[in-house]
Amino acid sequence: MFDEIIEVLQGQRDIVLATHILPDGDAIGSLLGLGLILRNAGKNIIATWGGRMEVPAQYAFLAGQEMLAAAGDIPREPGLIIALDCGSRERLGSVEKNFKHAQISINIDHHRNNSTFGTFNVVQPAYAATAQLVLELGHALNTEFSLDIAENLYTGLVTDTGRFQYSNTDASSFLAAAELIGYGVDPARIFRHIYENSSYERLRLAGLAFAKTVFDPASGFIYTTITKEDFAATGGSVEDTENLIDSLRAVAGVRVAAVLKETEGGLRISLRSTGVVDVGLIAGRKGGGGHKLAAGYNGRGSIEESLIDLKDEVASADNA
Ligand SMILES: [Mn+2]
């Protein structure tokens, strides 16, 4: 799976790593985890993502952040750039142009509808997290896994599997977790950092969002909206909305959950399915991407227009 990539890596000393905009636990964990693996192999690593270079508070404990650089500060035409956890080149945001101009590009990801946009592509939809792929790549590189590397990869694994409870969780996820725990990872320590490190602003933003939730039992569609005004009123950030949607999906009778949020980069729409509807297909038709149960895309027009459109999609998916 990694033969070609390892050959490419051997020929490069300076490597840029990039992940998707608004990075989640798998994005950051895979980015820093692979960065540390390659740095230990003697490479010069710069790690980045498009947009504001600010590590969400719950991931601030992760090692390797000295490798991070703002997207504007990375080489315009990197010799080698590696995209992690990005289903499409567009997900790189402002780093997309650097990716396009790189001499060699590698795309490592687990999104099913990945557009194989790299010179080399390792896409494994069967893997629950990109971090699991990075672990495998580490094996192929004969890496000596430090606790710092292991904590990054465990973070990717625990967040993308929903703490080992989503349907993407299988024996290989637990085997990967067991291996990482063997390198010294303390699951309770990671849990405290990621899930018990919530800010007051985050709580208030969630309260506002939950209060505005609309549920149509007939179609099983539940949604809420978060406007610029909501962010301003609570002091919450886009990162603070990361797990909101899981609470919407948890309501009995829900088939599709959606959170529509006005971000600096425009309207972002997150989707979750409880199993029947394939939200990855819906997001794909809108120029976005994701999995059957979790996907997202950028809305065009107002929140109201996007909602009308989305309700139609959910209604017609019911008939499929
Ligand atoms: Mn992922």
Domains, the chain, in order of start with CATH, read 3-195 (3.90.1640.10), 200-319 (3.10.310.30)
Q: How far apart are CA 195 and CA 243, in angstroms?
A: 10
- 144 CA → ligand 1 middle, Å: 23
- 26 CA → ligand 1 middle, Å: 5
Our CA dihedral for 230, 231, 235, 241, rounded to 10 degrees, sits at: 110
- 123 CA → ligand 1 middle, Å: 11
Task: Say what percent of the chain tops pLDDT 70.
Answer: 99
- 59 CA → ligand 1 middle, Å: 15
Nearest to residue 62, comparing CAs of 30, 87, 22?
30
Q: If pLDDT is split at 50, 70 and 90, which confidence band does 243 have?
A: confident
- 129 CA → ligand 1 middle, Å: 5
Q: Look at residue 118 and tell me whether its pLDDT is greater than 90.
A: yes
Please give the average per-residue pLDDT across 307-317, as a whole number: 92
- 128 CA → ligand 1 middle, Å: 7
- 217 CA → ligand 1 middle, Å: 30
pLDDT for 261 equals 97
Q: Is the separation of the CB atoms in 157 and 51 below 8 Å?
A: no
- 160 CA → ligand 1 middle, Å: 6
Please give the average per-residue pLDDT across 84-105, as a whole number: 97
pLDDT for 59 equals 96
Q: Look at residue 72 and tell me whether its pLDDT is greater than 70.
A: yes
Which ranges of 11-162 would DSSP assign to H, the alpha helix? 25-40, 96-101, 130-140, 147-160
Could you tell me the pTM of the whole model? 0.82
Lowest-confidence segment of 120-124, 238-242, 245-249, 315-319 by average pLDDT: 315-319
- pLDDT tens, position by position, 196-228: 988 899 999 999 999 999 999 999 999 999 999
- 85 CA → ligand 1 middle, Å: 5
- 74 CA → ligand 1 middle, Å: 23
Those residues whose C-beta lies under 8 Å from the C-beta of residue 288, and which sit 6 or more positions away, are: 269, 295, 296, 297, 298
- 291 CA → ligand 1 middle, Å: 10
Q: If pLDDT is split at 50, 70 and 90, which confidence band does 317 have?
A: confident
Residue with tokens 């425009």: 266
